[in-house]
Amino acid sequence: MYPGILIVTIIAGVIFYLAFQIGKGHTNLIHDYHVRNIKEKDMPKYAKLISKGLYVIGLGSLLSGGFMYLESVVGVLTSIFAGLLIGIVIIANAQKRFKK
């Protein structure tokens, strides 16, 4: 149980770090294919939306670690999948909105 909590917490920390860096404007962390057709003036807004999606995914991972500690399988699965789904929807929305 505890190794799983540690692994999920480390993964959440990495995701939070990447979200923070992308939100600050380090868009080189995003694959070139995804930023190829983004206008330079839209890049800060695009980076903020991508980082919001990553923060949601990281939060879902962190919550799943908390539910692992409580030994709630339903809580683990619900939080991880909800975080992934909402985060991916936010990221897909950013791609759709800013890719011209």
Four-residue CA torsion sign, 69, 87, 30, 23 = negative
pLDDT at 14: 97
Tokens of 81: 């999948």
Q: Using a cut of 0.85, tell me whether the model's pTM lies above it.
A: yes
Domain that holds residue 6: 1-99
Average pLDDT of span 34-50: 91
> Residue 95 pLDDT more than 80?
yes
Tokens of 95: 């791609």
CB 16 within 8 A of CB 40: no
Tokens of 84: 């992934």
Band (pLDDT 50/70/90 cuts) for residue 59 is very high
Identify the CA nearest to 84 among candidates 30, 28, 27, 8: 8
Give the chain's domain count.
Answer: 1
pLDDT at 81: 97
Q: Alpha carbon of 71 to those of 40, 67, 85: distances in Å?
A: 47, 6, 22
